[in-house]
């Protein structure tokens, strides 16, 4: 090896020696993800719909010609992967004309026939966290893309990484303690595509952006696999969404009445039962959307941020939340079949967080403005409370004009329930 040889060439050489395609696919994806150093003129290409169009201008326009000229086994292999992964017809034609006869592993000849053969979910009992597994078959090889999701308000992508083995090989023999905390199920490929596209699109707008050891390096590979999944032929659009929301609202009303009539609900004072509807609505809008499954992530978010910030009420009302939440969690998790051990862990968390919650409420940290923390990022907010015109006149311009509000967490915007 030459002393001035780039490190990535050595890493690609190691990947080529691997019996599994996963290492080389991951390396090619990482190089394609260098799109962030592209010139500004390519910004419009990056704003295309995730998984459907090609945004990696830098990889094609800058790296690909260099790789074609270099003619090494490593760069030739990357080009062969890019020809399928990046979905660019011009690149594919040039690669096949230039490097298809050069030295490469046999499985690269079958990459255009790669298929996603199976999708599977591994999640917790509460529906808060889930890992979606895509098993990909390439010329007799099986590899797995694991996509870690979080379902709070709108589904987001926490990470995505490649495994060099099939799903059953990687997760077929989980330790007993892990298996007891894990819900595993097969997924429909169409539904899986819709779920991952939604998560990917939402994650693109998070600030700060999601960054792990493997993400966004695996983004090009994930988008390639999403293109291999079958699309939903029936997009019912707004009418379906409206019907679904109406059904969800009716279900919440039903559950509210069921809880009020249950022993857990009857043990609460009547005025406390009046707040049940609000708590269920917050779970729908900002949690998993399932009012019958309450996990630790949303419970902590509800107590230490969401409830005291969103709900304008006297302290005596706010301070009832731990007792109310304990009753709701006990009833709802039992009704939906959440294991007792898991529910006990959530109830303990409520007890542990109660002193901090009381301090938030009693110190006046809750509800600094009744419109919610996101309101100040709304250009119409000051007009809503009648101050916009006055401040604009005094300052000579809009007080919110040209300000960057990217610090607002998009997760603070209610999203559709998790499928």
Whether residue 139 sits in one domain with residue 82:
no
Burial 140-150 (b: 16+ CB within 10 A, else e): ebbbbbbbbbb
Q: How far apart are CA 369 and CA 297, in angstroms?
A: 25
DSSP single-letter state for residue 398: -
Q: Which helix (H) or strand (E) holds 75?
A: helix 73-85
- Whole-number pLDDT of residue 9: 84
Distance CA 121, CA 419 (A): 12
For residues 288-305, give the mean pLDDT. 94
Residue 239 pLDDT > 60: no
Indicate if 219 and 262 belong to the same structural domain. Answer: no
Q: Name the residue range of residue 130's domain.
A: 115-228
pLDDT band at 417 (very low <50, low <70, confident <90, very high): very low
Among 56, 90, 112, give the residue marking a domain's end.
112
Q: Is residue 2 part of a domain?
A: no
**Are 267 and 354 part of one and the same domain?**
yes
Token pair listed for 355 = 């002193």
Q: How far is CA 266 from CA 116, 261, 320, 328, 332, in A?
A: 51, 6, 15, 11, 14
Q: Report if residue 367 sits inside a domain.
A: no
Collapsing DSSP to helix, strand or coil, 305 comes out as helix
CA distance 71 to 85: 20
Q: Span 17-27, mean pLDDT?
A: 93
- One domain, residues 244 and 347: yes
4-13, 176-185, 188-197, 350-359: the lowest-pLDDT one: 4-13
Give a yes or no: residue 272 inside a domain.
yes
User: How far is 199 from 220, CA to CA, in rounded Å?
Assistant: 15
How does DSSP classify residue 249?
H
Torsion, Cα 121 124 128 131, to 10 degrees, reads -30
Asked whether residue 45 is assigned to any structural domain, the reply reads yes
Q: Residue 221's pLDDT is what?
A: 96
Helix (H) or strand (E) holding 191, with range, is helix 189-203
Q: Are residues 349 and 270 in the same domain?
A: yes
Q: Is residue 419 part of a domain?
A: no
The mean pLDDT value for 54-75 works out to: 74
Whether 312 is covered by a domain: the verdict is yes
What Rg, from alpha-carbon coordinates, does the chain have? 26
pTM: 0.76
Do 318 and 403 have their domain in common? no
1 located within any domain:
no
The pLDDT of 173-185, averaged and rounded, is 86
What total of structural domains would you count in the chain?
Answer: 4
pLDDT digits (tens, 9 = 90+) for 346-395: 999 999 999 999 999 998 654 443 333 333 344 443 343 333 333 333 33
Choose the weakest-confidence range: 30-34, 265-269, 344-348. Answer: 30-34
Exposed/middle/buried for residue 37 (C-beta within 10 Å: 0-12, 13-18, 19+) = exposed
In a domain, 417, yes or no: no
Cβ(90)–Cβ(54) below 8 Å? no
Percent of the chain with pLDDT over 90: 48
The last residue of a domain, from among 228, 257, 276? 228
Supply the DSSP string of 332-351, one letter for each residue: HHHHHT--HHHHHHHHHHHH
Domain boundary among 95, 112, 129: 112
Task: Let me know: does 115 contact 62? Beta carbons within 8 Å.
Answer: no
Beta-bridged to residue 142, according to DSSP, are 137
């Amino acid at each position: 090896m030459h002393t001035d040889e780039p490190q990535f060439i050595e890493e690609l050489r190691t990947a080529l020696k691997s019996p599994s395609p996963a290492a080389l696919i991951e390396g090619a994806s990482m190089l394609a993800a260098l799109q962030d150093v592209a010139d500004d003129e390519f910004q419009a290409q990056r704003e295309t719909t995730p998984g459907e169009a090609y945004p990696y201008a830098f990889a094609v326009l800058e790296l690909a010609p260099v790789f074609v000229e270099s003619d090494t086994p490593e760069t030739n292999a990357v080009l062969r992967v890019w020809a399928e992964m990046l979905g660019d017809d011009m690149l594919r034609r040039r690669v096949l004309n230039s490097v298809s006869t050069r030295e490469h592993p046999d499985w690269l000849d079958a990459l255009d026939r790669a298929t996603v053969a199976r999708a599977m979910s591994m999640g917790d009992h509460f529906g808060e966290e889930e890992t979606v597994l895509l098993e990909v078959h390439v010329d007799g090889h099986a590899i797995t893309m694991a996509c870690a999701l979080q379902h709070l308000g709108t589904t987001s992508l926490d990470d995505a990484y490649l495994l060099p083995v099939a799903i059953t090989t990687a997760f077929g023999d989980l330790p007993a303690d892990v298996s007891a905390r894990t819900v595993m199920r097969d997924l429909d490929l169409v539904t899986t595509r819709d779920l991952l596209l939604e998560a990917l699109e939402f994650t693109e707008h998070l600030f700060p952006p999601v960054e792990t050891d493997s993400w966004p390096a695996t983004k090009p590979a994930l988008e390639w696999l999403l293109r291999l999944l079958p699309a939903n032929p029936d997009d019912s659009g707004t009418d379906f969404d409206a019907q679904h929301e109406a059904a969800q609202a009716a279900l919440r009303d039903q559950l509210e009445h069921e809880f009020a009539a249950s022993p857990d609900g009857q043990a609460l004072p009547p005025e406390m039962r009046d707040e049940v509807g609000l708590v269920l609505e917050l779970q729908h809008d900002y949690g998993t959307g399932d009012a019958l499954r309450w996990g630790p992530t949303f419970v902590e978010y509800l107590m230490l941020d969401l409830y005291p910030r969103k709900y304008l009420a006297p302290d005596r009302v706010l301070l009832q939340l731990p007792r109310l939440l304990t009753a709701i969690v006990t009833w709802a998790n039992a009704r939906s079949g959440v294991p007792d051990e898991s529910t006990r862990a959530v109830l303990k968390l409520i007890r542990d967080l109660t002193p901090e919650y009381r301090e938030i409420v009693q110190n006046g940290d809750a509800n600094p403005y009744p419109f919610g923390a996101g309101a100040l990022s709304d250009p119409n907010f000051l007009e809503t409370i009648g101050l916009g015109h006055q401040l604009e006149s005094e300052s000579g311009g809009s007080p919110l004009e040209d300000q960057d509000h990217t610090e607002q967490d998009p997760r603070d915007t209610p999203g559709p329930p998790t499928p």
